[in-house]
Amino acid sequence: MAELVKTVVGYSDVGTALTYTAATSGGDYIDFGSYNDYPDQRVMIAIRNLDTSHDATITFKAGDGILSAQGDIAVTVAGAATSVVKVIPLTKLDTARIKNLNGTNKGKVMVVSTIATGGTLSNVQIAVICVK
């Protein structure tokens, strides 16, 4: 399990290079506990699939917050495509649904990535963008 690296971007910055982390078979996590300066609406998640012929599925696991009963959230990214998911309160990707508030994973969002048979999981890369 690896922490997904965060890139902090100024509100008016243009052309900031993002730091992508390759998905791992044991799952990954985003440490929202360290985002005290970045409300949900200022966090975006970019997912790129460098595998040209296999779709990837990234699942944000349900946490233990007030909306966790709505379950996991799965995002499919086609081969050779990039998708951006914005974290917005009261929408599909809301930390009240996917963030862990208690236990050893407190403050974290657990992310499980898979790729179609024959694909290479490390070709699935995720960047967490925080706008300040």
What is the pLDDT, as a whole number, of residue 35? 54
What is the pLDDT, as a whole number, of residue 10? 86
What is the pLDDT, as a whole number, of residue 91? 63
Provide the strand spans (E) within the chain. Answer: 2-3, 6-9, 21-22, 28-31, 43-49, 56-60, 73-77, 82-87, 108-115, 124-131
What is the pLDDT, as a whole number, of residue 27? 96
Cα–Cα dist 61/12, whole Å? 32
What is the pLDDT, as a whole number, of residue 111? 97
What is the pLDDT, as a whole number, of residue 90? 63
> Which tokens belong to 45?
């998640």
Closest to 4 in 3D by CA, of 114, 132, 128, 131 = 128
What is the pLDDT, as a whole number, of residue 37? 58
What is the pLDDT, as a whole number, of residue 28? 97
Segments of the chain scoring below 70 in pLDDT: 33-38, 89-92
What is the pLDDT, as a whole number, of residue 127? 94
